[in-house]
Copies of this chain bind each other. A is one copy, B any other.
Amino acid sequence: MASHTITFQPSNQTVSAATGALLTEALRDAGLDINQPCGGQGRCGRCAVIVKDGSIRRRSTIRLTASDIESGYALACQSIVEGDAVILIPEQDQIERRLVTDKTAKAIAAPFPYDPARDQTVRAFAVTLDPPTLDDAVDDVSRLERALAARGIRHLQIPLPLMKELSARLRDAEWQVTATIETDTWRNPDGPPRLIDLIPGDGEGAAQRLFGVAIDIGTTTVSVYLVDLLSGEVVDTAAEYNKQIRRGEDVISRIIYAGKANGLQELSQLVRATINEVIKRLAQRNKVELWQICKATVAANTTMTHLFLGLPPASIRLTPYIPTVNHPLPVAAPEVGLDIHPRASVDCLPGVAAYVGSDITAGVLASGLADADDLTLFIDVGTNGEIALGTKEWLVTCACSAGPAFEGAGVACGMRATRGAIEEVWINSETFEPTFRVIGDVKPRGICGSGLLSLVAELLVTGVVDKGGRFKMDMATPRLREDEHGSEYTVAWAKDTDSGRGIVLTKVDIDNLMRAKAAIYAGFTVLAQSVGVDLADVQRVLIGGAFGKYINVEKAVQIGLLPDMPWDRFSFLGNTAVMGAYTALLSRDARAKIKDIAQKMTYIELSADNTFYDAFTSALFLPHTEMSRFPTVAALWSSERSPET
């Protein structure tokens, strides 16, 4: 049998390999460790390498796109040596990034060239006032206005609490002060400007610190960006479960709770407390004072906006589903109990309807959908799934209640996509043993939404779970067990976890995930259908949601959350709601554009007939009752052990 020389880059190790050998064998001979979570079955794609030169035959290309192959990608476990070859082993990161869709950069910078003087409504102006004399005895306010007029600020409004301190602040600062001013608003670029604070000394530039917060109030998760309003950069981000969860998992149960005595007040306080905790944490770990946070934008679904503002949401739930307001005006931080600068304004972004809030309008802005030339589908995967379809010319939208499974809530061992969360899982199809990646590379604490999605997809593909979402209890693995509470699969043994308790996936968890994915799948299919669009014509699918850094698009297709179409049409954008709020925080033009988006969107009420319910029921399988909708998944299964229905 002919022997060939295989050179592995970047280390330039060479080994000899016989014709017909697998690259994985050559790698092992070279002492090079390569990831094979699926057990070398060409399924996980984690053993991808790049054939730089030479003769390799790809036994299976299921994991590879045409462009992958063009780029030289091959799966080591599926590549047969046929001659000498030079093989590049990419960084593991690079492989993972090829498999998932990830636009979340480590450092978040302004999504446009940020110029505070042009874009920002809250700015700092250092001014030196002429000290008063008998010949120049104008009042303090006029003196300050005179100095600021030279900076283009006219008709300054000074709130009374600040007016009370004006005399002392000017004199204590010896007439040299930095004024924090909301120069105008998105709504009225002609002002009037409003004084937020007056700080002693020439604090403009480096010395002056001026921050804002962009807030996404999800039904399940509250996410906050702390933003430097001078540079436009995100200083830090943090998220926390919405404390309202204990009063109901979805918007409907929250609305019902709000109708109880003091229910509305309690829910308002809970969400405000959540936001304040997250902001406080961000401020403390970045050495920012709360009073230095002088602006806030809020994206949220309509119910969350109502509860945050303290508006009764009852009529949102009752036909004809009328919110008090889709487009609230900015309020002062103390009016909504936010512990930031007391004169900061809090701008709740505009929504569209009772079940399509500013999370989706902000998301549409952040996703670029509103500028799309091609037909684009935008899916905000959250407890309240919100979907938009269209181009820059037209937009339709709908919403569907998915439940909190994708956010790791309402799941036995669920958690947010944070340190300790299992975010991706591979299961060996021979042993049914799992391999997983944990955020922060620590002992696992639980499973986040993307981990759950990945886990169920792997269990399905390896046949541990059938198309109905049931565990096949006869599989030869100690990880499956059943007791009076039901059946479960142990992902991590107790000895391997952070808490010392095992991490499991239960049948109930799978049911929750199936309902969640079915609701979203039914949502966008019915939406497309209602406007006569064939899903195959969708050129781009933009996915937003409070997942972690990654969502494995392939696995999302495998379980039937996303439509089966070429992977390169998918983009996972991360939390688009908070991104949109961040963009609106920076730019009055962006803020105005969100309003345009809200006005441009046509809301389709899914509950108006039975179409949605029928579509939902059909989608309550993995991936779907009609396998013809998922041809690539069907093809994958036909090459492996197919899960039984």
**Nearest opposing residue in chain B for A332, CB measure:** B160
A561 is an interface residue with CB less than 8 A from chain B: no
3 cross-chain pairs, A with B, having the tightest CB-CB distances, nearest first? A141-B325, A134-B320, A139-B326
0/1 interface trace, chain A 315-327, chain B, CB 8 Å (1 if under): 1000111111111
How far, in whole Å, are A540 and B424 apart by their CA atoms in the complex?
92
A596 to chain B minimum Cβ distance, whole angstroms, is 16
Segment from A215-223, A225-233, A306-314 that makes contact with B: A306-314
Residues of B within 8 A of A311 (CB): 163-164, 166-167
A319 to chain B minimum Cβ distance, whole angstroms, is 7
Contact of A315 among B141, B167, B608 (CB under 8 A): B167
A441 to chain B minimum Cβ distance, whole angstroms, is 46
How far, in whole Å, are A171 and B315 apart by their CA atoms in the complex?
10
> Known: A134-B608, A137-B354, A168-B312. Contact between A163 and B319, CB under 8 A?
no
Residues of B within 8 A of A321 (CB): 134, 137
A133 is an interface residue with CB less than 8 A from chain B: yes
Contact of A312 among B139, B142, B167, B320 (CB under 8 A): B167
A604 to chain B minimum Cβ distance, whole angstroms, is 12
A195 to chain B minimum Cβ distance, whole angstroms, is 11
A412 is an interface residue with CB less than 8 A from chain B: no
0/1 interface trace, chain A 96-134, chain B, CB 8 Å (1 if under): 000000000000000000000000000000000000111
Residues of B within 8 A of A133 (CB): 320
How far, in whole Å, are A314 and B319 apart by their CA atoms in the complex?
60
**Nearest opposing residue in chain B for A131, CB measure:** B320
A329 is an interface residue with CB less than 8 A from chain B: yes
Do the beta carbons of B140 and A320 come within 8 Å of each other? Answer: no
A353 is an interface residue with CB less than 8 A from chain B: yes
| Copies per assembly | 2
How far, in whole Å, are A605 and B335 apart by their CA atoms in the complex?
44
19 sample A-B contacts, Cβ–Cβ < 8 Å, listed by A number? A134-B319, A137-B321, A137-B605, A138-B326, A139-B322, A139-B324, A140-B322, A140-B323, A141-B326, A157-B329, A160-B331, A160-B336, A163-B324, A164-B310, A164-B311, A167-B312, A167-B314, A167-B324, A171-B315
List which A139-165 residues lie within 8 A (CB) of chain B. 139-143, 157-158, 160, 163-164
Do the beta carbons of B315 and A134 come within 8 Å of each other? Answer: no
A330 to chain B minimum Cβ distance, whole angstroms, is 10
**Tally of A interface residues using CB under 8 Å:** 44
Name which of A134, A325, A331, A354 has the most chain B CB atoms within 10 A of its CB: A325
How far, in whole Å, are A147 and B106 apart by their CA atoms in the complex?
49
A205 is an interface residue with CB less than 8 A from chain B: no
How far, in whole Å, are A331 and B335 apart by their CA atoms in the complex?
16
Do the beta carbons of B331 and A137 come within 8 Å of each other? Answer: no
Residues of B within 8 A of A167 (CB): 311-312, 314-315, 322, 324
**Nearest opposing residue in chain B for A312, CB measure:** B167
Residues of B within 8 A of A160 (CB): 309-310, 331, 335-336
Residues of B within 8 A of A143 (CB): 322
**Nearest opposing residue in chain B for A336, CB measure:** B160
Contact of A163 among B139, B141, B315, B325 (CB under 8 A): B325
**Nearest opposing residue in chain B for A314, CB measure:** B167
A368 is an interface residue with CB less than 8 A from chain B: no
Residues of B within 8 A of A166 (CB): 311, 324-325
A328 is an interface residue with CB less than 8 A from chain B: yes
How far, in whole Å, are A142 and B595 apart by their CA atoms in the complex?
14
Residues of B within 8 A of A310 (CB): 160, 164
Residues of B within 8 A of A319 (CB): 134
How far, in whole Å, are A529 and B310 apart by their CA atoms in the complex?
63
A314 to chain B minimum Cβ distance, whole angstroms, is 7
> Known: A158-B329, A160-B335, A164-B311. Contact between A324 and B605, CB under 8 A?
no
